[in-house]
Amino acid sequence: MGQIYLQTIVGIGSVLGAIQQKGFSPRNLKYMRAFAEAWPDAEFVQAVLAQLPWYHQLALLDKLPDPETRRWYAAKAIEHNWSRNILVMQIETRLLERSGKAVTNFEDNLPKPQSDLARESVKDPYRFDFLGLTDEAQEREIEHALVKHVTEFLLELGAGFAFVGRQVLLDVGGDEFFIDLLFYHLKLRCYVVIELKGGKFKPEHLGQLGFYLTAVDRQVKSEHDNPTIGLLLCKSKNKIVAEYALGDKTQPMGIAEYKLLESLPAELQTSLPSIEQIENELKDFQA
């Protein structure tokens, strides 16, 4: 055990390259000890954690007590090249607990390993706090705000999603239909139709979503693309009803909730900065 501990301490050297050679502060020594105790596997430290900057390491140590959870977030940070701020945000919004939790029928309607990747690519719930909208917001208001803040939206959707368009026109037999949001997933190699519902999930919502999937498959996707996936986002759902509704569907679909800001008293709403003000402050800070 002592040998492994010593090897781990040695492995920290590659992570602490930015620290001055003249000596370590008491705070850094404390973190080095915590690091060695948290990561006794020297091979993992040298092969994996050495790819992360030291301040990423501090975030993992400070915010996550469980070693397996730390490993998961460390691997994701490396895979997606997260900054420290993004890593902290993903930890605080409980990304691990939300990943792969949407109700889907992917296992029945997609071949492996695509079905596993599709399931892990969706969450429940989705957090749209960055929009600055409360639960009273209507569908079109949310949709407009998501496009306006598409960078944050793509971050919340996860790696691989590319934005195609909003209110995408489909002409079917001379009738016009409009998809709320259309994406393309680079790893799944397929289009993803996202429909927003401002209330509780109803089984009939899947009929509309299925129609859009058929139209995209016939009019938009190429022969090299995989079948289009549908994701229905609603304010709330009964999980059992959602599972029943998906039970006889042959098209790949998922159902998940989205969360906005909780309603605030009017006197507090007027005292809070707008989302634009916050963004401008952050730009000034980063500059």
Give percent above pLDDT 90 in the chain.
63
Domain count, the chain: 2
Flag whether the pTM goes above 0.85: no
| Helices assigned H by DSSP within the chain | 2-15, 26-38, 42-47, 54-63, 67-80, 84-92, 95-98, 106-109, 114-120, 139-148, 150-157, 205-219, 239-246, 266-269, 275-286
Range(s) of the domain holding residue 64: 2-92
pLDDT at 5: 44
Same domain, 148 and 234: yes
pLDDT at 52: 87
**Hey, how many other C-beta atoms are within 10 angstroms of the C-beta on 245?**
23
Same domain, 182 and 243: yes
Same domain, 114 and 29: no
Mean pLDDT for the stretch of residues 140-151: 94
Tell whether 212 is covered by a domain: yes
Mean pLDDT for the stretch of residues 82-96: 93
CATH number at residue 164: 3.40.1350.10
**Hey, how many other C-beta atoms are within 10 angstroms of the C-beta on 244?**
11
